[in-house]
């Protein structure tokens, strides 16, 4: 390849990386962990399910957040089988609906008194059930922006900013012993900006993504033999 073209490409990549870095707002993250009985040799052929709590009146733990954590764990250690949340809830309907979902690990024993439920748990070889409770909310927002459109011209001018906060707690249940074996929490916050001079440029703080990575890393460390 021509060295000049190669240099141009490198500069473009560098420029793109710099732009991505600049467009990302700042995020603060705090992670707390308290776990017991870590599976030192990993979980073998057993599976893990990650479920969101949705019984609170004013919020639901987001399905895409649960999926994000599952993907994070599976990509970190492909040997860990993470069962899809929606598939699991449908397979066990109606026992994991917001109204019926067990709130304590001891309740699972009573659920296992139902033969079809016990059989299905046997089939999926579940080792850990992880409950995630929390959500992400936008907080205060300030600024103003006005946009206009005319014949052959359109544009915006102004500046807006808003805060985002995530607060999640993961509770790990050992499904074999029906006990809680750990809690991991992640609190993240960040400020996003949107300056607009003709074109609005969103500078979004990846608050939820950081919470997902933080929780995912801790859970991966707990579950995987390689981390």
Residues that bind another protein (CB under 8 A): 58-60, 62, 90-95, 97-104, 107, 110-111, 113-117, 120
On whether the CB atoms of residues 147 and 197 are closer than 8 A, the answer is no
The number of CA neighbours under 13 Å toward the Cβ of 9 is: 6
| Beta carbon nearer to another protein, 9 or 118 | 118
* Shortest distance, position 135 Cβ to another protein, whole Å: 8
Q: Is 115 helix (H, G, I), strand (E, B) or coil?
A: helix
Helix-strand-coil percent breakdown of the chain, rounded to 5?
35, 40, 30
Nearest approach in angstroms of CB 148 to another protein is 22
What is the nearest approach in angstroms of another protein to the Cβ of residue 163?
Answer: 16
Q: Which is nearer to another protein, 89 or 220 (CB)?
A: 89
* 13 vs 93, beta carbon nearer another protein: 93
* Nearest distance in Å: CB 105, another protein: 11
CA distance 1 to 175: 57
The DSSP call for residue 24 is S
**Nearer to another protein among residue 85 and residue 217 (C-beta):** 85
Torsion sign, CA atoms 35, 38, 42, 47: negative
């Amino acid at each position: 390849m021509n060295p000049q073209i190669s240099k141009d490409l490198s500069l473009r990549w560098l420029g793109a990386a710099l732009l991505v870095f600049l467009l990302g707002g700042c995020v603060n993250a705090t992670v707390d962990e308290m776990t017991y009985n870590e599976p030192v040799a990993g979980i073998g052929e057993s599976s893990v399910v990650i479920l969101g709590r949705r019984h609170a009146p004013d919020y639901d733990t987001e399905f895409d957040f649960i999926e994000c954590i599952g993907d994070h764990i599976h990509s970190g250690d492909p040997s860990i089988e993470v069962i899809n949340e929606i598939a699991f809830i449908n397979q066990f309907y109606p026992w994991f609906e917001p109204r019926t979902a067990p709130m304590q690990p001891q309740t699972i024993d009573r659920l296992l008194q139902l033969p079809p439920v016990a059989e299905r748990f046997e089939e999926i070889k579940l080792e850990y059930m992880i409950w995630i409770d929390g959500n992400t909310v936008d907080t205060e927002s300030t600024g103003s922006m006005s946009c206009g459109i005319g014949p052959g011209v359109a544009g915006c001018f102004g500046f807006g900013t808003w805060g985002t906060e995530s607060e999640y707690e993961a509770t790990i249940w050992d499904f074999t012993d029906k006990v809680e074996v750990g809690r991991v929490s992640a609190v993240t916050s960040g400020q996003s900006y949107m300056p607009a001079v003709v074109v609005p440029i969103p500078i979004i703080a990846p608050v939820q993504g950081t919470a997902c990575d933080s929780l995912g890393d801790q859970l991966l460390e707990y579950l995987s033999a390689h981390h």
